[in-house]
Amino acid sequence: MSSAVVSTSAALGRPFLFDAEPEPEARCHPERSGNCAKRISRGVEEPALSLPKGPLLSPDPRLASILPASRLEIRPAPEMVTSGIPALDALAGGLPRGCLTEICGPASSGRTTILLAALAAATRRGEYCAVIDASDALDPYSLAAAGVDLDHLLWIRCGDDIPQKVPNSAKKSAGAPPLSRTLRQGGVFDFLCEAPLPLDFQESKLEGSSPRCKGSASPGKSLLYKRSEHRLEQVLRATDLLLESGGFGLIILDLADLPPQSARRIPLTTWFRFRRAVEHKPTILFAIEQQPIAGSCSSLLLQLGMPSTPDVMRLESRTMKWKQIHPQSDSSREAAAWESPARQCRVSLEKGNESRRDGTDFGDITADDAPNVLHIARPAHTHLLTELQFHAELIRSRLDRKPARSITFETKTAWAG
């Protein structure tokens, strides 16, 4: 559309005209749809009056095919759906269907919280969702705690699934521990022995995986460069296939743990293709990453801020307050380790504390009780993270061209380890 506008204006030799106060595109509100209709009718009639008369207006067959910008069809405003977080909905109007939405921010900035909230809201609507997890980082218990219907969620775990031999030099240089050594006999860490390389080893080498290092890289670096490419390729191919398949209400690209220099290697044409693939479809394409990488292909861009030191101080004060209320819990740190939530639940029941009874298998406290966590004898796991504040800033929105605004929203911990 923009190229057509430029060529028409340049050909006619008149300056570009800008609206004094650009109106946002029509949303689903009835009164705005009326304005939209007026704009369309005005746009059809005006150019005939304002076009200069001259030799350029002669019936030239080459110019006949050029449509004035004002006559171009106005793109219909996308349908907006809730993101699951009221504050975000108030800021951005929700998530647009048929568009690409980017959420970027550093670690612990609330990207995954928004992801889970959007997933929960979509599955509550009965839609099928897909998460393309570039780093295999999603936690199923967090999903369940956020209220995501797991039957409606397709999880694609990308990673270095292809067994590849690691040169001995690379292992030595990284100082990686011998992988064959079992950390524990079984248990949670068993899968360490099956992984081809520990993630920290891979990530530490990703600095050397940028294309500029490609030529001079050692064999180990070139291998890691290939692995990084392999993971990105998995993400892009899986996304292409899912978009082609159709039928999903929400498709999420989780690139949050990919270093920005790796994520930026995704060509802009790919994002453009993705945007075109979801256009005019009820699918929401949603990407979380550390830095914005899709450029103008994204219709909505939210930047999240990292937690600040005052946030941490507030947590500290909460912890101290809790310790003042229950000083005996801190008397013997090793022996009086805070017990598992399930046991806490049993203890509280034994004490007849029926009013604070826990309803979940994990002995967790329900969302309604979360603000009262300080009154609980022993707080459940991660309860001290309750009311953690995240800061979101609206950088770009196709619907709203007002200056950037920001909000702060809080999370509640309805989940325990």
Q: Which of residues 220-249 bind another protein (CB under 8 A)?
A: 234, 237-238, 241-242, 244-249
374 contacts another protein (rule: CB under 8 A): no
Residue 28 C-beta: closest distance to another protein, Å: 17
Residue 14 C-beta: closest distance to another protein, Å: 46
Residue placing its CB nearer to another protein in the complex, 232 or 399:
232
Residue placing its CB nearer to another protein in the complex, 36 or 235:
235
Among 102, 257, 358, 369, binds another protein (CB under 8 A): 257
Could you give the CA distance from residue 16 to residue 185 in angstroms, rounded to a whole number?
Answer: 72
Residue placing its CB nearer to another protein in the complex, 225 or 415:
415
Distances (CA, A) of 372 to 78, 140, 192, 382: 40, 26, 39, 14
Residue 247 C-beta: closest distance to another protein, Å: 3
Could you give the CA distance from residue 167 to residue 413 in angstroms, rounded to a whole number?
Answer: 44
Residue placing its CB nearer to another protein in the complex, 5 or 192:
192
Distances (CA, A) of 103 to 120, 267, 293: 17, 18, 10
Site string for another protein, 150-189 (x = CB under 8 A): xx-xxxxxxx-x------------x--x-----xxxxxxx
Residue 221 C-beta: closest distance to another protein, Å: 16
Within residues 304-323, the interface with another protein by CB under 8 A covers 306-309, 311-313, 315-316, 319
What pairing do the DSSP bridges indicate for beta strands 95-96 and 300-305? unpaired
Residue placing its CB nearer to another protein in the complex, 5 or 385:
385
Among 36, 92, 256, 392, binds another protein (CB under 8 A): 256
Could you give the CA distance from residue 397 to residue 305 in angstroms, rounded to a whole number?
Answer: 18
Kindly state the tokens that stand for 3.
């190229």
H or E segment at 114?
A: helix 111-124
Distances (CA, A) of 110 to 48, 344, 381, 390: 51, 28, 18, 6
H or E segment at 285?
A: strand 284-289
Site string for another protein, 261-300 (x = CB under 8 A): ---------------------x------------------
Alpha carbon 410 to chain centroid distance?
17
Other C-beta atoms within 10 Å of 357: how many? Answer: 13
Residue 358 C-beta: closest distance to another protein, Å: 14
Residue placing its CB nearer to another protein in the complex, 167 or 246:
246
Within residues 96-125, the interface with another protein by CB under 8 A covers 106-113, 115-117, 120-121, 124-125
CA max distance for the chain: 94
Among 10, 23, 75, 140, binds another protein (CB under 8 A): 140
Q: Report the interhelical angle of 219-245 vs 268-278 (nearest 10°).
A: 20
Kindly state the tokens that stand for 374.
């300080």
Residue placing its CB nearer to another protein in the complex, 64 or 335:
335
384 contacts another protein (rule: CB under 8 A): yes
Tokens 């930026």 label which residue?
264
Residue 324 C-beta: closest distance to another protein, Å: 15
Distances (CA, A) of 355 to 88, 108, 345, 364, 370: 33, 33, 12, 14, 14
Residue 232 C-beta: closest distance to another protein, Å: 12
Distances (CA, A) of 383 to 83, 262, 318, 386, 414: 24, 35, 11, 5, 8
Site string for another protein, 184-223 (x = CB under 8 A): xxxxxxxxx--x--xxxx-xx-------------------
